[in-house]
Amino acid sequence: MSVEIRKLAPELVDDYVHFFDTTPHATHEDEHRCYCVWWCSEDYVGRDLTSSEKRRDYAIQCIKGDKLRGYLAYCDDKVVGWCNANTKVDCLKCYCWQRFMGDIPTEDPVSGVKVKSIFCFAIAPEMQRKGVAGRLVERVCLDAAEDGFDFVEAYPNKEFIDVAEDFMGPVKLYRRTGFAVCHETEKKFVMRKQLT
């Protein structure tokens, strides 16, 4: 099985939305299709994202405007996985950061420390447990190092809750790829991999 990882770009927008259109989410409910817009580098205040159609349209807009960043995994030219990876400081005003990540420390902007954050995974059911998420993490780290980032950071739950709640990936995925715990909250680990 050959898996190719491609960085999200405007020319891949149709592949991206098709993946979210056709890949079941953890709840298998159409209204829960997120199109991963909760983790884009834009202030969410005032946006109406109450339906999957509105989230889909907004995802297209964000991809074309370079506000939604990450990587697509392809197998036989079909998207089988997604990883949202963005500059941490750019996402501090996004919906999910504001709602769920208040206990996570942030760097002082004056320090100059650059952190790439891994926020979310979506892997097609038939491709789960086949190393796709690991390949995505490896590519995030490789590109982040080339782009001058100091760390890649991830926020897995300390304990498995359910598929819907564990979209940030499991602790063991990050341990396998060289991450270590640098901080913890009541429910989450902050795991980092040093790049420089």
pLDDT in tens, the chain (196 residues): 799 999 999 999 999 999 999 987 765 566 668 899 988 877 778 888 889 899 999 999 999 999 999 999 999 999 999 999 999 988 888 888 888 888 888 877 668 899 999 999 999 999 999 999 999 999 999 999 999 999 999 999 998 776 666 788 999 999 999 999 999 999 899 999 999 7
Tell me the C-alpha to C-alpha distance, in Å, between residue 55 and each of 35, 44, 60, 65, 178: 6, 12, 9, 15, 34
pLDDT at 164: 63
Q: Give the end-to-end CA distance of the chain in Å, rounded to a whole number.
A: 32
Strands 78-87 and 115-123: antiparallel
Q: What pLDDT, on a 0 to 100 scale, did the predictor assign at position 75? A: 96
The pLDDT of residue 163? 64
User: Can you state the percent helix, strand and coil of the chain, rounding each to 5?
Assistant: 35, 25, 40
CA torsion, ordered 159, 160, 161, 167, to nearest 10 deg: 110
Q: How far apart are CA 101 and CA 183, in angstroms?
A: 13
Q: Please, which residues have CB within 8 angstroms of residue 45's CB and are 6 or more apart in sequence? A: 93
Q: What is the pLDDT of residue 162?
A: 65
Kindly report the pTM of this predicted structure: 0.92
* Four-point Cα dihedral 169, 173, 66, 39, nearest 10: 20
pLDDT of residue 63: 95
Residue with tokens 């890649």: 152
